[in-house]
């Protein structure tokens, strides 16, 4: 199985600042035939299910603020949240879907 | 807007079965794969199973293979997870999630159903 490792495990950032969460996979998530990275990011607030933020490593889902951006390729990826707001407090997960079974990172807890 | 609502959770003794159901609405059910994902208390997310849009293909995580069975009813827009031989380590919130037909990520989730396996 592909192992997904996020860093840091927790992160405290001031309002209005930038938060960056990293995700590393044990195998490349880049599929050469379509040049796409099979990685998504989710946000999970307490007591709620995860919410899809970004697919294909960089494509923001409809309705997701443009403060959220994804980057990276191959085995190293990042989620950047700019102009941090109180509502961004959550646990963030990366997940690969390049190979079955789909696997998640352990999560990064973002606090203000 | 897609909506998924799980039901059937509760407290069950080790070794006993339990069946979860998920009712879907707001989208063309037969166009999407359906998955089950669980989250143990205070822990991360674990994918369990997928059933293809037409019900012909099913896959399972090793942790539940042979014990859990996924099924769907495209006429009633429901997906189910039959869980047999439950263990204490199966205690978790179980989420039903929708995925695109050909990719294993999850673009819509239910609120989850808590399953507690305890004597």
Q: pLDDT tens digits for B44-59?
A: 999 999 999 999 999 9
Query: What pLDDT digit, counting tens, does each position of A16-37 carry?
Result: 999 999 999 999 999 999 999 9
Cα dihedral B14→B19→B20→B23 (10° resolution): -170
Distance from CA of A32 to the nearest CA of B (A): 16
pLDDT of amino acid A20 = 98
Q: With contact defined as beta carbons under 8 Å apart, do B36 and B95 qualify?
A: yes
pLDDT of amino acid B103 = 86
Enumerate residues 6+ apart whose C-beta is below 8 A from A33.
none
| Rounded distance between C-alpha atoms, residue B34 and residue B72, angstroms | 8
Residue B94's alpha-carbon distances to B23, B32, B66, B97, B109, in angstroms, are 14, 19, 18, 10, 10
DSSP 3-state of A88? helix
pLDDT at A79 over 90: yes
Query: What pLDDT digit, counting tens, does each position of B59-106 carry?
Result: 999 999 999 999 999 999 999 999 999 999 999 999 999 998 878 999
Mean pLDDT across chain A: 97
| Rounded distance between C-alpha atoms, residue A39 and residue B90, angstroms | 27
With beta carbons under 8 A apart, name residues in chain B contacting A107: 44-45
CA-closest candidate to residue A8, choices A96, A91, A112, A69: A91
pLDDT of amino acid B102 = 79
What is the C-alpha radius of gyration for chain A, rounded to an integer number of angstroms? 13
With beta carbons under 8 A apart, name residues in chain B contacting A38: 103
pLDDT of amino acid B101 = 82
pLDDT of amino acid A36 = 95
pLDDT of amino acid A34 = 93
* Strand boundaries in B40-104, DSSP class E: 45-51, 58-60, 68-73, 78-83, 92-99
Distance from CA of A97 to the nearest CA of B (A): 5
With beta carbons under 8 A apart, name residues in chain B contacting A42: 45, 106
- Which pair of tokens denotes residue B76? 């009633």
pLDDT of amino acid A14 = 97
CA-closest candidate to residue B22, choices B43, B40, B38: B38
Query: If pLDDT is split at 50, 70 and 90, which confidence band does B42 have?
Result: very high
Are residues A97 and B46, on separate chains, in Cβ contact within 8 Å? no
Q: With contact defined as beta carbons under 8 Å apart, do A52 and A97 qualify?
A: no
Mean pLDDT across chain B: 96
Q: What is the arithmetic mean of pLDDT over A59-80?
A: 97
Distance from CA of B111 to the nearest CA of A (A): 6
Percent of all residues in chain B with a pLDDT value above 70, rounded to a whole number: 100
């Amino acid at each position: 199985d592909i192992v997904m490792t996020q860093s840091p495990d927790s992160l405290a950032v001031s309002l209005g600042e930038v938060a960056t969460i990293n995700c590393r996979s044990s195998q490349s998530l880049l599929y050469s035939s379509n040049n796409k990275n099979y990685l998504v990011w989710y946000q999970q607030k307490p007591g709620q299910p995860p919410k899809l933020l970004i697919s294909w490593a960089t494509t923001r889902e409809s309705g997701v603020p443009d403060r959220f951006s994804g980057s990276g390729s191959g085995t190293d990826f990042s989620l950047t949240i700019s102009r941090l707001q109180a509502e961004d407090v959550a646990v963030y997960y990366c997940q690969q879907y390049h190979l079955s079974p789909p696997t998640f990172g352990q999560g990064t807890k973002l606090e203000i | 807007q897609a909506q998924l609502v799980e039901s059937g959770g509760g407290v069950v003794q080790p070794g006993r079965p339990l069946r979860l159901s998920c009712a879907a609405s707001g989208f063309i059910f037969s166009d999407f794969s359906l998955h089950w994902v669980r989250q143990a208390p205070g822990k991360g997310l674990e994918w369990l199973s997928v059933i293809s849009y037409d019900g012909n293909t099913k896959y399972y995580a090793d942790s539940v293979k042979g014990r859990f069975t996924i099924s769907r009813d495209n006429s009633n827009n429901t997906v189910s997870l039959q869980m047999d031989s439950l263990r204490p380590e199966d205690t978790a919130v179980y989420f039903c999630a929708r995925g695109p037909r050909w990719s294993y990520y999850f673009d819509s989730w239910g609120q989850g159903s808590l399953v507690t396996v305890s004597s």
